[in-house]
Structure 1
């Protein structure tokens, strides 16, 4: 299997095709297989790339470094080692935070465009911010659940992330992929991811961005994702009526078509 060592961690990746690089960044506790429909179906026209963060998927399970900031630093090293320039960063859920954090640390010289797939500016319920889905009590409960009943925690994620119950094959894929992140790593990155706040960062990102929201609101409200588009100076908003949080899996053909349109407009 292909790996790149980035900041001391061996990161698993997939890299297919040629042309404009589309770099897919997974959500928290997930991995590259959530982009199976994109990696296979878009590689005829683009260079499709996806990587597992440290501690996730098939990447090395390092004891340290499980913050959005470190994942963004790892992404910079990965882009450099794979010679990826003029890329479109496609961040699903926490992947969007990694992309925004990357901008804060390293700028946009290597980035042609961004795609935010169902992520709000923050997951936490800050004062005067209505779009977070976690407060201190819920976060504490979640972190405890990860440690005391790991399997039930993952089952709950599956139920909340999809608009309709997934087929057995998809359910098995999700369960296997999320299970690859050990509970100690889950707890570390869940806390860091939840407490991140990019409301003040977004207005400074002038790079064209496509913002995608799933209409089912079990995981995140449409208003929370639309708020991101409103804060960005150069954004398009797209609602996926038949999706929950896993748009790339739930409506892959429509998502791929809309992604193509966005990339060709850049």
Structure 2
């Protein structure tokens, strides 16, 4: 099946790289922090048989323009709207992974849900940080996340070490082959460390609980969360987004490691909301 590639200008001098495969109802996939269209290759192969499948490199990711401004999720939400408009995408299912969920929620904050068919949100709490004694579902303890920003995202070596440790400890459950780990790290390093630091802080200080709650009431919504925090995440989402469907699978990169099972979960959801 032929894949179309395009560069879409979202502001003067800033282009986003987009791939489009297949025909049918549009399914738009947005990668997470510093990652690229390539992580969704198994989903593109599967869903392009039945859907118009679109994958985006956000600004300063992958093959999109590297820029020192707009590296925050407010801008990413605006960028998404511009891409959808340029491609004449109507009534899409938006699928965000990790910080890509923040792009989806920011789009909803700015533009609402009227033009969205459904939502698929992969392993991202709508608020990353909490100081409650009884923690909600969050990305991690404040001190740990502050240390990651301060100690690792200040130079290329630290970014490599941070992504490598995250890949082996959180993203994937099995032992990675050397070439697999190299590929994952190289995906991230396409975003320079000084931009990665901006994105990291923007993501951690975001709060999209309102958008997550309201959108799940407005359009069919599926959350897929990693097994390592399944109980906490499911309990939290059942309270915040009771109308949403919640599934658990694998680690943070479950759609890559367990692609067949993940694709089956998503396909069932899409069939249930034609």
TM over 0.5: yes
Q: 1:211 aligns with which of 223, 236, 257?
A: 223
Q: Who is 1:249 aligned against?
A: 256
Q: Who is 2:10 aligned against?
A: 6
Q: Who is 2:39 aligned against?
A: 34
Q: What's the secondary structure of 1:212's corresponding residue?
A: strand
Q: Who is 2:76 aligned against?
A: 71
Note the residue ranges of structure 2 that are not aligned, 5 or more in a row: none
Q: What's the secondary structure of 1:55's corresponding residue?
A: coil
The aligned runs of 1:68-217 (5 Å cut-off) are 68-127=73-132, 129-144=135-150, 145-148=152-155, 149-160=158-169, 161-205=171-215, 206=217, 207-215=219-227, 217=228
Note the residue ranges of structure 1 that are not aligned, 5 or more in a row: none
Question: Which deviations, in whole Å up to 9, do the C-alpha atoms of 1:173-203 show, x marking residues without a partner?
Answer: 2111101010110000100101111223322
Change (3 A) 1:158 1:72: same
> Residues 24 and 89 of structure 1 are in contact (CA less than 8 Å); yes or no, is this contact kept in structure 2?
yes
Q: CA deviation at 1:233?
A: 4.4
Q: What's the secondary structure of 2:209's corresponding residue?
A: coil
How many residue pairs end up in the alignment? 260
1: CA distance, partners of 2:172 / 2:82 = 33
Larger mean Cα displacement after TM superposition, 123-132 or 244-253? 123-132
> Residues 126 and 132 of structure 1 are in contact (CA less than 8 Å); yes or no, is this contact kept in structure 2?
no
Could you list the runs of 4 or more consecutive aligned residues of structure 1 that deviate by over 4 angstroms after TM superposition? none
Q: CA deviation at 1:223?
A: 3.5
Q: CA deviation at 1:10?
A: 0.5
Q: 1:223 aligns with which of 205, 208, 231?
A: 231
1: CA distance, partners of 2:131 / 2:40 = 31
Q: What's the secondary structure of 2:153's corresponding residue?
A: helix
Q: CA deviation at 1:172?
A: 2.6
Question: Which deviations, in whole Å up to 9, do the C-alpha atoms of 1:28-77 show, x marking residues without a partner?
Answer: 11111110100112111111111011011111001100111110000000
2: CA distance, partners of 1:126 / 1:195 = 13
Larger mean Cα displacement after TM superposition, 26-35 or 162-171? 162-171
Q: CA deviation at 1:170?
A: 2.7
Q: What's the secondary structure of 1:111's corresponding residue?
A: coil
Q: What's the secondary structure of 1:22's corresponding residue?
A: strand
TM-score by length of 1: 0.92
2: CA distance, partners of 1:39 / 1:249 = 12
2: CA distance, partners of 1:69 / 1:224 = 27
